[in-house]
Structure 1
Amino acid sequence: MIDVKIARSDIERDDAFYVRTKVFVEEQGVPISLEIDEFDKSAKHFIVYDDEQPIGAGRIREIDTGIAKVERVCILQEYRGQHLGFLIMNALEKDAESSGMTKIVLNAQSYAIPFYEKLGYTVNSPEFMDADIPHRAMVKEINS
């Protein structure tokens, strides 16, 4: 059974780090020193589980009054194409909305822009490099 949970223990947070390490560090070549950062302690982490197996992750944090930033959204390669990205984004957005946020921002890898556009995000920056990967900033108004 596929389920999205908020990390409430160190073990669950480690499950999120496991998925992020597999996707961003091992698959995409992001240095671990950039992937696991100073915001991990304060961010709220979400994990997608297939029964007990962590297969997806993402985090959200408030970066300014009413503005949430979604980061580190990923799904293990063998689980892609099953709409699990939509599942975790829905959970992250519901959390932002219930926390009183009015806007969500994110930095999308450029190849993933169509995915986020389907969710109502719009590009609001030129392309830039982050960890040697092309990105664009995106935004979505919520609670409007």
Structure 2
Amino acid sequence: MQKVKIAESELQKEQAFEIRRKVFVDEQQVPLHIEMDEYDDDATHFVGYNLQQPIAAGRIREIENGIGKVERVSVLPEFRGQHVGVLMMDAMEKHARSVGMSSLKLNSQSYAIPFYEKLNYTVTSPEFLDAGIPHRTMEKNLHA
């Protein structure tokens, strides 16, 4: 049974950070000082669980009036391809709507663009490098 929760306790936030460290720092070689940033204090963090085991993470924050930014979406390798990412995105979008956000932006790693396109995100930028990894900005209107 997989479920997604908003990280409300320090333990849950640390679980989210640990997933991100495993995926971005260990697996993708993103420097820790880039991965863990100043926005972690203000963002709403999400943790995906398989039973009681943390297996996925992500965060969302408001960047402008009514516009949210989805960041740091990550799933442990052994749970990829099992729709965990879809569950994470659904939970973050539901939260965004509940707090009055009308649209979301994200910077997708280029290889993951088809995943987000299936969730009705649209590419809105040329490719750029973030932490040495090719990305493109994508957006979604939550009221469409």
Q: Is this a same-fold pair by TM over 0.5?
A: yes
Partner amino acid, structure 2, of 1:31: P
Could you tell me which residue of structure 2 aligns to residue 97 of structure 1?
97
> In the TM superposition, what are the counterparts of 1:1-144 in structure 2 within 5 Å?
1-144=1-144
Aligned-residue offset at 1:50: 1.1
Partner amino acid, structure 1, of 2:111: Y
Aligned-residue offset at 1:53: 1.0
May I ask how many residue pairs the two structures share in their alignment?
144
SS in 2 for 1:107: strand
Partner amino acid, structure 2, of 1:40: D
SS in 1 for 2:96: helix
SS in 2 for 1:40: helix
SS in 1 for 2:42: coil
RMSD: 0.6
Q: In 1, distance between residues paired with 2:100 and 2:139?
A: 16
Partner amino acid, structure 1, of 2:27: E
Which ranges of 4 or more aligned residues in structure 1 deviate by more than 3 Å? Answer: none
Query: What residue ranges of structure 1 are gaps of 5+ in the alignment?
Result: none
Aligned-residue offset at 1:142: 1.1
Query: What residue ranges of structure 2 are gaps of 5+ in the alignment?
Result: none
Q: In 2, distance between residues paired with 1:113 and 1:20?
A: 19
- TM-score under structure 1 normalisation? 0.98
Q: In 1, distance between residues paired with 2:119 and 2:88?
A: 12
